[in-house]
Amino acid sequence: MAEQSNPGTAATPVVDVVDERLGRQSWYQRLMTRPDSGALAGVILVFIFFAFTAGGTGMFASDGVLSWMTVTAQLMIIGTGAALLMIGGEFDLSVGSMIGFTGMMIAIPTVYFGWPVWASVVFAFCGALLIGFLNGLVVVRTRLPSFIVTLASLYILRGMTIALSILFANRTIVSGVKNFAGDSLVVPLFSGKAFQGLFIWMADAGVIAKLPNGQPSVQGVPAVVIWAFVIALIGHIVLTRTRFGNWIFGAGGDANAARNVGVPVARVKITLFMVTAFCATVYATCQVMEFGSAAADRGVLKEFEAIIAAVIGGCLLTGGYGSVVGAFFGALIFGVVQMGILFTGAPNDWFQVFLGLMLLTAVLFNSYIRRRATGER
């Protein structure tokens, strides 16, 4: 039987309680809570600045675009790995040394042991993945800061790279890789150019300029650019569309809470160290196949550039927050500024000044964005 109300009793007012999670946000509020919003604003400002200061220098011509896109792509490859690892709450300072070391792992067996170049490349990737696994294993088993563990790896790998190059070549550069590569498919896979027919058509149609010999000023998209976009796309999909991506955020945000709900934190972190090593090896292979040589000093300070790109892109130093898209924007800012300074004729020293200011600004802005997103004061 339905309950009857008492006419002599005042009705209790009903108050509608609105869940704040169901409230609507404006597009500006949604934009300001994205980790890559600051990097996007930085990209727009950088392009506006160089449009005025270097607009007539050829920076935005086809060959100029290719120059800063190549720099961007190189950093994007290692920046994607660095971003995923930072979101997972860890750092890898051995990335730069890994580039030089894996380059030697390709060049020395090919030139001095007579290995097929594809076998040397597979050997380098397997070695890098093993080193990444060991880095991650030491971090999760000892619970030492990854900063310390990978700093040790940086010096170990750098020393081994120099020692091996001196031992076999009596110098820090091993050249002649392309002479032994022959017609191996590995060479065009890592140093070829894609869409050559498209650029020939664009030159004939007058869309891009031609060289005096009749060839287009840009003969194709370098393989490093293709690799960069493929790696960044896969990283973005994994981070935002898969369960493993949720695990990455959980492991970086609060590892103990993530363990309590069943996230395999140790496995996630070790995998991310291996991904970072893989990205460094892709970078190294592209350089070896492009220049036909390996050098012990290649990759110096690249670990810091990768971290800077990730931080500019919105990744927090404390982990649990960031995006691969933001790391792409950070790498784009890096490449445009580095080449833009050359196009404007300004001293290259100003690039280091800009980089430091951008890093400080990005950290402050990212901290502000995180407080808005989490409601902290």
Q: Is residue 68 part of a domain?
A: yes
What digits encode the pLDDT tens for the residues 86-102? 999 999 999 999 999 99
Say if residue 368's pLDDT is above 80: no
Mean pLDDT, the chain, integer: 86
State residue 100's pLDDT score: 95
Q: Is residue 374 part of a domain?
A: no
Q: Which domain holds residue 335?
A: 35-369
Quick one: pLDDT band at residue 1, thresholds 50, 70, 90?
A: very low
Average pLDDT on 280-288 reads 95
Residue 254, domain CATH: 1.10.3470
Q: Is residue 251 part of a domain?
A: yes
**In DSSP terms, which residues pair with 174 in a beta bridge?**
294
Question: Strands (DSSP E) along the chain, which ranges?
Answer: 173-175, 193-194, 221-222, 293-295
State residue 24's pLDDT score: 65
212-221, 233-242, 248-257: segment of lowest average pLDDT: 212-221
Q: Is residue 65 part of a domain?
A: yes
Q: Is residue 377 part of a domain?
A: no
Say if residue 62's pLDDT is above 50: yes
Q: Is residue 29 part of a domain?
A: no
Residue 213 tokens read as 């010999």
State residue 161's pLDDT score: 95
State residue 123's pLDDT score: 97
Q: Which of 304, 315, 308, 330 is nearest to 43 (CA)?
A: 330
Q: Is residue 131 part of a domain?
A: yes
Average pLDDT on 330-351 reads 84
Average pLDDT on 265-278 reads 97
Rg over CA atoms, the chain: 25
Say if residue 17's pLDDT is above 80: no
Give the whole-number percent of the chain exceeding pLDDT 90. 49
Q: Is residue 20 part of a domain?
A: no
Number of domains within the chain: 1
6-20, 99-113, 181-195: segment of lowest average pLDDT: 6-20
State residue 317's pLDDT score: 81
Determine how many CB atoms are found less than 10 A away from the CB of residue 135: 26
Return d(Cα 337, Cα 326) in angstroms, integer: 17
